[in-house]
Amino acid sequence: MVIETLIFKEIGLLPELFLGISLIYLTLHGTFLSVSKNYPLLQISNLYLSVLVLSMVCFLLMNDGLEVLDSSIFNNTVVTDYLGYSSKLLLGVSCIFCLLIIQQYVVDQKQNNFEYILLFLFAILGIFLLCSSNDLITAYLAIELQSLAFYVLAAFKKNSTFSADAGLKYFILGAFSSSLFLFGSSIIYGVTGTTNFEDFKDLFFGLFPGGQISLGFDLNKGSVPVHFEIPFDASLLNFALVFILASLFFKLALAPFHLWSPDVYEGSLSSSTFFFAVIPKLGIFVLLLRIFYYSFYSFIDNWRYYVVIISILSVIVGSFVGLEQRKLKSLLAYSSISHMGYSLISFTTGTFEGIQMLLCYLIIYICSGLCIWSIFLLTRLKISYIQKQNKDLTDFVLLSKSNKTLAIFLATVLLSVAGFPPMIGFLVKIGVFLASIESSMYFIALVSILCSVISTFYYIRIVKILFFEKVLVGKLYYPIKTQRAVIVTLLFYLLLFLFINPTLLYLVSQKISLVSVINIF
What are the tens digits of pLDDT across the range 467-508? 887 776 667 777 777 667 777 888 888 888 877 778 888 888
CA 186/CA 182 separation, integer angstroms: 6
pLDDT at 287: 93
Sign of CA dihedral 326, 329, 330, 335: positive
Residue 284: pLDDT band with limits 50, 70, 90: very high
| DSSP letters spanning 145-209 | HHHHHHHHHHT--TT-HHHHHHHHHHHHHHHHHHHHHHHHHHHHHHHHS--BHHHHHHHH-EE-T
pLDDT at 501: 79
CA 222/CA 214 separation, integer angstroms: 13
Q: What is the pLDDT of residues 66-77, one digit of tens each?
A: 545 557 777 888
Residue 218: pLDDT band with limits 50, 70, 90: very low
pLDDT at 221: 43
CA 407/CA 124 separation, integer angstroms: 31
Establish if 341 belongs to a structural domain: yes
Q: What is the mean pLDDT of residues 317-343?
A: 89
CA 293/CA 521 separation, integer angstroms: 9
pLDDT at 511: 79
434 in Cβ contact with 441 (< 8 Å) = no
Establish if 1 belongs to a structural domain: no
pLDDT at 216: 39
Q: Quick one: what percent of the chain has pLDDT higher than 70?
A: 85
pLDDT at 192: 87
* pTM more than 0.95: no
| Low-confidence winner among 117-126, 168-177, 417-426 (lowest mean pLDDT) | 417-426
Establish if 97 belongs to a structural domain: yes
CA 463/CA 478 separation, integer angstroms: 21
SS3 of 213, please? strand
291 in Cβ contact with 237 (< 8 Å) = no
Of 88, 156, 147, 60, the C-alpha closest to 117 is: 156
Considering only residues 393 and 184, tell me which one the structure prediction assigns the higher pLDDT. 184
Residue 120: pLDDT band with limits 50, 70, 90: very high
Q: What is the pLDDT of residues 8-23, one digit of tens each?
A: 556 678 889 999 999 9
pLDDT at 236: 86
Considering only residues 421 and 189, tell me which one the structure prediction assigns the higher pLDDT. 189
| Count of the separate structural domains present in the chain | 1
| Low-confidence winner among 59-63, 346-350, 391-395, 516-520 (lowest mean pLDDT) | 516-520
pLDDT at 30: 84
| Low-confidence winner among 272-281, 340-349, 472-481 (lowest mean pLDDT) | 472-481
Q: What angle do CA 279, 285, 288 make, to 5 degrees?
A: 150
CA 267/CA 40 separation, integer angstroms: 28
Considering only residues 334 and 221, tell me which one the structure prediction assigns the higher pLDDT. 334
pLDDT at 521: 55
Q: What is the mean pLDDT of the chain?
A: 82
pLDDT at 223: 41
Beta bridge pairs of residue 206: 214
Establish if 418 belongs to a structural domain: yes
Establish if 85 belongs to a structural domain: yes
The answer on pLDDT for 116 being more than 70 is yes
Establish if 168 belongs to a structural domain: yes
Question: How would you label 353-381 residue by residue, b for 16+ Cβ within 10 Å and e otherwise?
Answer: bbbbbbbbbbbbbbbbbbbbbbbbbbbee
Establish if 307 belongs to a structural domain: yes
Establish if 336 belongs to a structural domain: yes
Quickly count: other Cβ atoms within 10 Å of residue 515's Cβ.
18
Residue 220: pLDDT band with limits 50, 70, 90: very low
- 131 contacts: CB under 8 Å, gap ≥ 6: 83, 84, 87, 88, 91, 282, 283, 286, 287
pLDDT at 122: 94
| Containing structural domain, residue 163 | 8-382+389-520
